[in-house]
Amino acid sequence: MCARGFVERDEDSGRYRLGLHLYDLGHLAVSRNDIRNAALPILQEVHHRTGATAHIGVPDGDDVIYLERIVSRDSLQIWSKVGRRAPSTTTSSGKVLYAYSSRFANGRMRGRVPTAFEVDNALAARYRVALQETVKRGFAISVDESLQGLTSIAAPVIGHDGIAHAAISLVGPTPRMLADVQSPARIVQIAAKKLSRELSL
Protein backbone atom coordinates (compact mmCIF):
# COMPACT_ATOMS: atom_id res chain seq x y z
CA MET A 1 0.00 0.00 0.00
CA CYS A 2 2.84 2.39 0.84
CA ALA A 3 4.72 1.54 -2.35
CA ARG A 4 1.66 2.39 -4.42
CA GLY A 5 0.97 5.61 -2.57
CA PHE A 6 -2.33 4.57 -0.99
CA VAL A 7 -0.96 5.11 2.51
CA GLU A 8 2.03 6.91 3.97
CA ARG A 9 3.97 6.09 7.13
CA ASP A 10 4.96 8.91 9.43
CA GLU A 11 8.64 8.42 10.24
CA ASP A 12 8.40 10.02 13.69
CA SER A 13 5.24 8.39 15.04
CA GLY A 14 5.21 5.23 12.97
CA ARG A 15 1.50 5.80 12.26
CA TYR A 16 -0.12 5.52 8.85
CA ARG A 17 -2.23 8.06 7.01
CA LEU A 18 -3.96 8.15 3.64
CA GLY A 19 -1.58 8.75 0.75
CA LEU A 20 -1.68 11.28 -2.05
CA HIS A 21 -2.52 8.57 -4.58
CA LEU A 22 -6.00 8.26 -3.06
CA TYR A 23 -6.35 12.03 -3.39
CA ASP A 24 -5.39 11.75 -7.08
CA LEU A 25 -7.89 8.93 -7.61
CA GLY A 26 -10.63 10.96 -5.99
CA HIS A 27 -9.99 13.89 -8.29
CA LEU A 28 -9.86 11.58 -11.28
CA ALA A 29 -13.27 10.13 -10.36
CA VAL A 30 -14.73 13.62 -10.04
CA SER A 31 -13.22 14.82 -13.30
CA ARG A 32 -14.67 11.84 -15.16
CA ASN A 33 -18.10 12.25 -13.68
CA ASP A 34 -20.66 12.80 -16.43
CA ILE A 35 -22.70 15.23 -14.37
CA ARG A 36 -19.65 17.30 -13.47
CA ASN A 37 -18.40 17.44 -17.06
CA ALA A 38 -21.79 18.42 -18.46
CA ALA A 39 -22.35 20.96 -15.71
CA LEU A 40 -19.02 22.79 -15.95
CA PRO A 41 -19.83 25.04 -18.96
CA ILE A 42 -23.28 25.72 -17.51
CA LEU A 43 -21.74 26.74 -14.18
CA GLN A 44 -19.33 29.03 -15.99
CA GLU A 45 -22.22 30.68 -17.80
CA VAL A 46 -24.23 31.09 -14.59
CA HIS A 47 -21.21 32.54 -12.79
CA HIS A 48 -20.55 34.94 -15.67
CA ARG A 49 -24.16 36.17 -15.59
CA THR A 50 -24.39 36.63 -11.84
CA GLY A 51 -20.88 37.06 -10.47
CA ALA A 52 -21.81 34.63 -7.69
CA THR A 53 -20.14 31.34 -6.83
CA ALA A 54 -21.82 28.50 -8.76
CA HIS A 55 -21.94 24.85 -7.62
CA ILE A 56 -23.10 21.49 -8.86
CA GLY A 57 -23.99 19.06 -6.08
CA VAL A 58 -25.28 15.49 -5.96
CA PRO A 59 -27.13 13.63 -3.18
CA ASP A 60 -25.44 11.13 -0.91
CA GLY A 61 -27.70 9.92 1.87
CA ASP A 62 -28.68 12.90 4.00
CA ASP A 63 -25.89 15.02 2.53
CA VAL A 64 -24.92 16.80 -0.65
CA ILE A 65 -21.48 16.43 -2.24
CA TYR A 66 -20.18 19.25 -4.43
CA LEU A 67 -18.63 18.00 -7.66
CA GLU A 68 -17.55 21.36 -9.05
CA ARG A 69 -17.63 25.09 -8.35
CA ILE A 70 -16.80 28.35 -10.05
CA VAL A 71 -15.72 30.77 -7.34
CA SER A 72 -16.67 34.41 -7.00
CA ARG A 73 -14.06 36.89 -5.84
CA ASP A 74 -16.29 38.18 -3.04
CA SER A 75 -17.20 34.74 -1.65
CA LEU A 76 -15.36 33.35 1.33
CA GLN A 77 -13.01 30.69 -0.02
CA ILE A 78 -13.48 28.43 2.99
CA TRP A 79 -17.21 27.97 2.45
CA SER A 80 -17.02 25.24 -0.12
CA LYS A 81 -14.59 22.92 -1.81
CA VAL A 82 -14.86 20.40 -4.61
CA GLY A 83 -15.61 17.09 -2.92
CA ARG A 84 -16.99 18.81 0.17
CA ARG A 85 -19.85 17.06 1.95
CA ALA A 86 -22.55 19.26 3.51
CA PRO A 87 -25.79 18.45 5.34
CA SER A 88 -29.04 18.76 3.43
CA THR A 89 -30.53 20.59 6.39
CA THR A 90 -28.46 23.78 6.04
CA THR A 91 -27.77 24.14 2.32
CA SER A 92 -30.05 25.11 -0.54
CA SER A 93 -28.63 22.26 -2.66
CA GLY A 94 -29.33 19.75 0.08
CA LYS A 95 -32.85 21.03 0.63
CA VAL A 96 -33.77 20.91 -3.04
CA LEU A 97 -32.27 17.43 -3.43
CA TYR A 98 -34.25 16.24 -0.43
CA ALA A 99 -37.48 17.91 -1.59
CA TYR A 100 -37.23 16.14 -4.95
CA SER A 101 -35.93 12.83 -3.59
CA SER A 102 -37.72 9.49 -3.94
CA ARG A 103 -38.92 9.67 -0.32
CA PHE A 104 -40.69 12.99 -0.97
CA ALA A 105 -41.61 12.55 -4.63
CA ASN A 106 -44.94 13.79 -6.00
CA GLY A 107 -45.47 16.21 -3.15
CA ARG A 108 -45.52 13.52 -0.45
CA MET A 109 -43.97 15.21 2.57
CA ARG A 110 -44.32 12.30 4.99
CA GLY A 111 -41.00 10.67 4.14
CA ARG A 112 -38.09 10.26 6.54
CA VAL A 113 -36.43 13.55 7.42
CA PRO A 114 -32.64 13.78 7.83
CA THR A 115 -31.29 11.90 10.84
CA ALA A 116 -30.32 15.18 12.52
CA PHE A 117 -34.02 16.11 12.78
CA GLU A 118 -35.51 12.74 13.70
CA VAL A 119 -35.32 13.38 17.43
CA ASP A 120 -36.76 16.89 17.27
CA ASN A 121 -40.40 17.03 16.15
CA ALA A 122 -40.42 20.82 15.88
CA LEU A 123 -37.35 20.89 13.63
CA ALA A 124 -38.73 18.02 11.56
CA ALA A 125 -42.04 19.88 11.08
CA ARG A 126 -40.25 23.08 10.03
CA TYR A 127 -38.08 21.13 7.63
CA ARG A 128 -41.13 19.52 5.99
CA VAL A 129 -42.63 23.00 5.54
CA ALA A 130 -39.36 24.16 3.95
CA LEU A 131 -39.50 21.19 1.55
CA GLN A 132 -43.10 21.98 0.63
CA GLU A 133 -42.14 25.60 -0.08
CA THR A 134 -39.21 24.39 -2.16
CA VAL A 135 -41.44 22.23 -4.35
CA LYS A 136 -44.01 25.03 -4.66
CA ARG A 137 -41.37 27.59 -5.74
CA GLY A 138 -39.19 25.22 -7.73
CA PHE A 139 -36.05 26.28 -5.87
CA ALA A 140 -34.59 26.22 -2.36
CA ILE A 141 -32.98 28.99 -0.39
CA SER A 142 -30.59 28.94 2.55
CA VAL A 143 -29.99 32.24 4.37
CA ASP A 144 -26.99 32.47 6.70
CA GLU A 145 -27.33 28.76 7.56
CA SER A 146 -24.03 27.32 6.33
CA LEU A 147 -22.05 30.46 7.03
CA GLN A 148 -23.14 33.81 8.43
CA GLY A 149 -23.37 36.43 5.70
CA LEU A 150 -23.85 34.03 2.79
CA THR A 151 -27.07 32.99 1.08
CA SER A 152 -27.48 30.21 -1.46
CA ILE A 153 -30.24 29.47 -3.96
CA ALA A 154 -30.52 26.08 -5.69
CA ALA A 155 -32.66 24.40 -8.33
CA PRO A 156 -33.05 20.65 -8.95
CA VAL A 157 -31.78 18.77 -11.99
CA ILE A 158 -34.80 16.51 -12.37
CA GLY A 159 -34.97 13.30 -14.35
CA HIS A 160 -37.92 11.68 -16.10
CA ASP A 161 -38.59 9.87 -12.83
CA GLY A 162 -39.35 13.17 -11.08
CA ILE A 163 -36.30 12.74 -8.84
CA ALA A 164 -33.49 15.29 -8.45
CA HIS A 165 -30.21 13.74 -9.54
CA ALA A 166 -28.22 16.92 -8.91
CA ALA A 167 -28.64 20.56 -7.92
CA ILE A 168 -27.20 23.78 -9.31
CA SER A 169 -26.73 26.53 -6.77
CA LEU A 170 -25.52 30.10 -6.50
CA VAL A 171 -23.88 31.48 -3.36
CA GLY A 172 -23.26 35.13 -2.57
CA PRO A 173 -23.40 37.80 0.12
CA THR A 174 -26.80 37.71 1.81
CA PRO A 175 -27.78 41.38 1.16
CA ARG A 176 -27.05 41.04 -2.55
CA MET A 177 -28.76 37.66 -2.94
CA LEU A 178 -31.88 38.76 -1.07
CA ALA A 179 -32.19 42.08 -2.91
CA ASP A 180 -33.92 40.26 -5.78
CA VAL A 181 -34.30 36.55 -5.02
CA GLN A 182 -36.31 35.82 -8.17
CA SER A 183 -33.50 36.83 -10.52
CA PRO A 184 -30.86 34.31 -9.36
CA ALA A 185 -33.62 31.75 -8.80
CA ARG A 186 -34.69 32.00 -12.47
CA ILE A 187 -31.08 31.68 -13.59
CA VAL A 188 -30.42 28.48 -11.61
CA GLN A 189 -33.78 27.00 -12.66
CA ILE A 190 -32.99 27.57 -16.34
CA ALA A 191 -29.49 26.17 -15.85
CA ALA A 192 -30.80 23.08 -14.04
CA LYS A 193 -33.33 22.36 -16.80
CA LYS A 194 -30.60 22.77 -19.41
CA LEU A 195 -28.36 20.29 -17.60
CA SER A 196 -31.23 17.82 -17.26
CA ARG A 197 -31.79 17.95 -21.03
CA GLU A 198 -28.09 17.53 -21.79
CA LEU A 199 -27.83 14.52 -19.50
CA SER A 200 -31.08 13.04 -20.86
CA LEU A 201 -32.13 12.14 -17.34
**161 and 115 assigned to the same domain:** yes
**64 and 162 assigned to the same domain:** yes
Q: For position 21, what pLDDT does the model report?
A: 60
Q: What is the mean pLDDT of each run of 10 residues along the chain (201 residues)?
A: 71 75 60 81 95 91 87 60 74 92 64 67 81 92 87 94 92 91 96 93 72
Q: Find all residues with CB under 8 Å of 68, minimum gap 6, and list them.
A: 30, 36, 39, 40, 43, 55, 56, 82
Q: For position 127, what pLDDT does the model report?
A: 81
**189 and 96 assigned to the same domain:** yes
- DSSP string of 59-76, one letter each residue: EETTEEEEEEEE--TTS-
**28 and 41 assigned to the same domain:** no
**43 and 64 assigned to the same domain:** yes
Q: Which domain holds residue 8?
A: 1-32
Q: For position 186, what pLDDT does the model report?
A: 97
